[in-house]
Amino acid sequence: MHADQAQTSEPAKPQDKPFISPIVSWGLMIGLGLAIWAWDIVLNRRPESVPKWGWQLLAIFLPTILGLMLRPMSGGAVVLIALTVAILTGTLTTEEALGGFADKSVWLVLAAYFISRAVIKTGLARRIALGFVRRLGGNTLGLSYALVATDTVLAGMIPSNAARVGGVVLPIARSLAELYRSFPGRSAALLGTFLLLALYQADVANCAMFLTGQASNPIAASAARKATAGVVDLHYGNWLLYACVPAVASIVIVPYLTYRWTKPEIRHTPEAVDMARRELEAMGPMRWGERIVLGVFVGVCLGWIYDGFANEGKNVTAIAFAGVGVLLLSGVLTWEDAVSERAAWDVFIWYGGLVQLGKMLGETTIPEAFATSVAGALDLPMIVLFLAILLIYFYAHYAFASITAHIVSMYPAFVAVLMLAGVPPALAACSFAFVTNLSAGLTHYGTTPGPIIFNTNYVPMETWWRVGFLLSVVNLVIWLTLGLAWWKVLGLW
């Protein structure tokens, strides 16, 4: 592993195949859309309170979510086709369909991707990782905490957990495993199985800790603001404040329990410290570009926190683009870098499209009708209803290969159900936003780094699912005890 690797590193690409063939996927998507359409046109069963265009939008929206789950093609392409269908069928005007691309949160995510490109390109991200390994990597458990600490620091700014894990931390983790002759297959249990599984399981807690933890968190923040009529404002500072205590607890406990439940055969790793020291020496002192990126990284994060509490997060997008501007003017980030950041533009398309589809669906009476019917069917005491709905919502992620699809399809409706039942709006909105990220730890396809790590063949599927379920219980206990107590102190309920 050479010192200049991180300057050109890209996130590893998941090689997993879709659950079913694209033809079958498209057949299911089209069939679902036609069934919803026929419910109105053929059977005349559309609820009277739902406008015709709203029902047509539902017939487009739900197949889109199904497409994000089945993945017959990339998410951006699926959403773009959905917007086209909405325009061609007259469900939405062109201006309405494309309105999501004017949403400031969409541009915020794009700007954050550009900054993350510079963090990785200059080698700063790799320097941070090697620094943690040098200080904490003397034993196997400490080595896992070094990798997790790197992901935690980067999660405060890099909204792509695939870029953080696949592009920065995973290559170092694999090099460390191979240093101790732990390779995919029979020797994986020596070290590699534990390191990679601990990295992934802690990453979902990092996703929950920051607004920038993963790309669809701003969708949850926007949905929370809309569902609570502006009462809940999950800007960068508030998100971090509300999530930090239970998230830190998860980040500390999860690697230790993963260590206990996977039992790596190698327990001491002094050579890892030596390797990190050699790599850092090869990299030399921090270069000018790294210093610029570090200044922008810290400045933007502090700006987001200040703006969140002083101005309710009204200027977060402007602050992010100010950081991008500094990087462009300094030459650390070139326009060619920005244009070639494919992940950023893919997110821009599907995120902007989903934001608008969800927003327009919210203008119908469908979410309210769903919430009313569910709340009426579940005649339970408030706290019991809260726990029951949260568990249903959490373990429904077994059916999702995307946090985004989970949030868009279930979050607004489930939060509305709880609010209708009397659950405090802040408690409902925040708890469901956070646990969506944690639920991704259940499976090897729960969020993008899952397939990336799984395809290294270090972690057997049965180990992944067994440890994933056990840690899901641990995380829920942490967030529903320590988390609830912290939110009580903060006045969320």
Question: In this predicted model, which residue has the larger pLDDT, 368 or 16?
Answer: 368
Give the residue from 173, 296, 156, 175 showing the smallest Cα distance to 236: 156
Average pLDDT over residues 86-96: 93
Asked if pLDDT for residue 250 goes beyond 80, the answer is yes
Question: In this predicted model, which residue has the larger pLDDT, 59 or 70?
Answer: 59
Residues 37, 39, 42, 48, Cα dihedral to 10°:
-100
Backbone angles phi and psi of 268, in degrees to 5: -125, 135
* Contact between residue 159 and residue 130 where contact means Cβ atoms under 8 Å apart: no
Q: For Cα atoms 5, 8, 11, give the angle at the middle one, nearest 5 degrees.
A: 95
pLDDT for the residue numbered 26: 94
pLDDT for the residue numbered 111: 86
* Contact between residue 473 and residue 429 where contact means Cβ atoms under 8 Å apart: no
* Contact between residue 446 and residue 440 where contact means Cβ atoms under 8 Å apart: yes
Give the residue from 79, 100, 81, 83 showing the smallest Cα distance to 91: 83
* Contact between residue 178 and residue 292 where contact means Cβ atoms under 8 Å apart: no
* Contact between residue 321 and residue 107 where contact means Cβ atoms under 8 Å apart: yes
Half-sphere exposure of 422 (CA within 13 A, CB side): 8
Helices 425-439, 461-490: crossing angle, 10 deg rounding:
160
Q: Please tell me what DSSP assigns to residue 235.
A: -
Residue with tokens 């003017």: 329
**What is the dihedral sign for C-alpha 299, 302, 305, 306?**
negative
Average pLDDT over residues 405-427: 87
pLDDT for the residue numbered 153: 92
Backbone angles phi and psi of 17, in degrees to 5: -85, 155
Give the residue from 366, 399, 333 showing the smallest Cα distance to 112: 333
Asked if pLDDT for residue 5 goes beyond 70, the answer is no
Contacts of 480 (CB under 8 A, 6+ apart): 387, 390
What's the CA gap between 449 and 170, in Å, rounded?
9
CA distances from 75 to 175, 343, 345, 403, 463 (A): 31, 11, 11, 12, 29
* Contact between residue 472 and residue 439 where contact means Cβ atoms under 8 Å apart: yes
The 10s digit of each residue's pLDDT in 433-466 is 999 999 999 988 888 888 888 888 899 989 999 9
Q: What is the DSSP string of 295-318?
A: HHHHHHHHHHHHHHHHHTTTTHHH
pLDDT for the residue numbered 18: 55
Average pLDDT over residues 367-374: 69
Confidence of residue 10 (pLDDT cuts 50, 70, 90): very low
Determine which helix (DSSP H) or strand (DSSP E) holds 141, and give its type and residue range.
helix 140-155
User: Would you call 268 helix, strand, or coil by DSSP?
Assistant: strand
* Contact between residue 41 and residue 55 where contact means Cβ atoms under 8 Å apart: no
Which two structure tokens, joined as six digits, stand for 430?
Answer: 């925040």
pLDDT for the residue numbered 74: 82
What's the CA gap between 48 and 146, in Å, rounded?
57
What's the predicted TM-score (pTM) here?
0.78
From 343-357, 416-430, 433-447, 461-475, the region with the lowest mean pLDDT: 343-357
- Exposed/middle/buried for 267, CB within 10 Å: 0-12, 13-18, 19+? exposed
What's the CA gap between 347 and 112, in Å, rounded?
11
Q: What is the DSSP string of 328-395?
A: HHHTSS-HHHHHT-HHHHHHHHHHHHHHHHHHHHHTSSHHHHHHHHHHHH----HHHHHHHHHHHHHH
Which two structure tokens, joined as six digits, stand for 221?
Answer: 């923040």
* Contact between residue 329 and residue 252 where contact means Cβ atoms under 8 Å apart: no
Provide Rg for the chain, Cα atoms: 22
